[in-house]
């Protein structure tokens, strides 16, 4: 399991190991040393009918505890402290996805839905194959009402294309609407919520500040269009270079939202360490939105694969003042960044956006 304590922190945690050891001791009876005590009693009293009955009851009790242990371990709900201070995380399986992808499908019991050209494979879910003009998506069916959360994405982008002859990338979403195909990395334009983009192809020819592939983030209240010609620069909250194509080790992205503070980090160097990418305070996201991921190819293409999505609920302490400030909101927004009102014509909103 990944640990995220800031840039450069290792993805291991001794606290979880101690919690696991204590649970194992409880389940096997070592915590009370009852096996030794009962053994001595049996040696003293010798074989008898009442001892045989008690031994069967004791075996049933140990079996029940071991079953409970397996259920706890299988649920992934064990608390784990992350970062400084009293911050604990809990895996939320209704918003998570991993092999063998049993929760993916079209039935009423499915937690995840596929769209477009997305396919379930044995080791990954392929959003788009390395072919032209494909798009696909994967969406969680359960709205997320968590206040503070962390989404860890294990992904892979690879293909036959050489330098600057591949595209277009993938996106991770937390939005009001789901299963809406469109031009923004396979999702609708003018979305409502948060989009994080792993863009692998530079459309803006004259720009020299960025090196692609490039990760960026955007918060939208439904009034903004993603500017493909400028690779989303007019509306991005921040970004960083992320060399993620055709690597022979695992690549990860983490999106953390705590106390209206958005942090995006990556582990793409094979070092099992998080590296900072984007950090934005004052991000206000409503609860009840959906998580998803999507991808699109055009004249250029790549394989865009998702291996796992793991959502953790973060429990953090808040002061009374923070409780007042962090009340629920109904539209996404970012402090000190004025978003046009949703519903206005696009020609009235583009001019001020270019000045940002």
DSSP 200-244: -S---SS--S--SSEEEEEEEES-PPP-TTTTTGGG-SEEEE---
Rounded to the nearest 10 degrees, how much is the dihedral formed by the CA atoms of 178, 166, 219, 183?
Answer: -50
Q: What whole-number distance in Å separates Cα of residue 218 and Cα of residue 196?
A: 7
Q: What span, in angstroms and rounded, lies between the C-alpha atoms of 277 and 239?
A: 6
Q: Give the pLDDT band of residue 328 (cuts 50, 70, 90).
A: very high
Residue-wise pLDDT for 213-267, tens only, equals: 999 999 999 999 999 999 999 999 999 999 999 999 999 999 999 999 999 999 9
Q: Which of 23-37, 109-123, 138-152, 188-202 has the lowest mean pLDDT?
A: 23-37
DSSP conformation class of 129 = -
Q: Listing from the earlier edge strand, what are the strands of the sheet with 169-175?
A: 112-116, 135-140, 290-296, 169-175, 192-199, 214-221, 238-241
Provide the pLDDT for residue 74. 43
Buried-exposed string 228-239: b where 16+ CB fall within 10 A, e elsewhere: beebbbbbbbeb
**Cβ(143)–Cβ(289) under 8 Å?**
yes
| Least confident piece of the model among 78-92, 255-269, 308-322 | 78-92
Domains and CATH numbers, the chain: 88-333 (2.60.120.200)
Distances (CA, A) of 162 to 83, 238, 246, 247, 295: 40, 27, 10, 14, 19
Task: In whole angstroms, give the CA distance from residue 216 to residue 241.
Answer: 9
Angle of helix 49-75 versus helix 14-28 axis, rounded to 10 = 160
Q: What pTM does this model have?
A: 0.75
pLDDT tens per residue, range 151-208 = 999 999 999 988 777 889 999 999 999 999 999 999 999 999 999 999 999 988 766 6
**pLDDT-based confidence at residue 78 (cuts at 50, 70, 90):** low
Beta bridge partners, 234, equal: none
* Distance (Å, whole) CA 61 – CA 84: 39
Whether 29 has a pLDDT exceeding 70, the answer reads no
């Amino acid at each position: 399991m990944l640990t995220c304590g800031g840039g450069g922190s290792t993805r291991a945690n001794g606290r979880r190991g101690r919690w696991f050891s204590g649970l194992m001791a409880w389940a096997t009876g070592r915590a009370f040393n009852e096996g030794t005590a009962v053994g001595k009693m049996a040696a003293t009293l010798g074989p008898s009918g009442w001892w045989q009955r008690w031994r069967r009851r004791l075996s049933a009790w140990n079996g029940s505890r071991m079953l409970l242990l397996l259920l706890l371990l299988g649920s992934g709900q064990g608390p784990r402290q992350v970062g400084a201070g009293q911050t604990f995380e809990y895996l939320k399986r209704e918003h998570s996805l991993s092999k063998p992808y049993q929760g993916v499908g079209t039935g009423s019991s499915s937690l995840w839905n596929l769209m477009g050209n997305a396919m379930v494979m044995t080791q990954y879910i392929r959003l788009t194959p390395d072919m032209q003009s494909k798009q696909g998506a994967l969406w969680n069916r359960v709205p997320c009402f968590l206040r503070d959360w962390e989404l860890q994405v294990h992904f892979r982008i690879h293909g036959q294309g050489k330098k600057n002859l591949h595209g277009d990338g993938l996106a991770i979403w937390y939005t009001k609407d789901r299963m809406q195909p469109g031009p923004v990395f396979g999702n609708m334009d003018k979305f409502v919520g948060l989009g994080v983009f792993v863009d692998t192809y530079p459309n803006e020819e004259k720009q020299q500040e960025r090196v692609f592939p490039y990760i960026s983030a955007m918060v939208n209240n439904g009034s903004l269009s993603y500017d493909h010609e400028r690779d989303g620069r007019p509306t991005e909250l921040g970004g960083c270079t992320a060399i993620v194509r055709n690597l022979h080790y695992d690549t990860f992205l983490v999106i953390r939202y705590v106390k209206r503070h958005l942090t995006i980090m990556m582990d793409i160097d094979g070092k099992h360490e998080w590296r900072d990418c984007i950090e934005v305070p004052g991000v206000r996201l409503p609860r009840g939105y959906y998580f998803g991921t999507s991808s699109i190819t055009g004249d250029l293409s790549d394989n865009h694969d998702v291996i796992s999505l793991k959502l953790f609920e973060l429990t953090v302490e808040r002061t009374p003042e923070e409780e007042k400030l962090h009340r629920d909101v109904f539209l996404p927004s970012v402090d000190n960044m004025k978003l046009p009102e949703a519903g206005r014509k696009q020609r009235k909103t583009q001019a001020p956006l270019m000045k940002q």
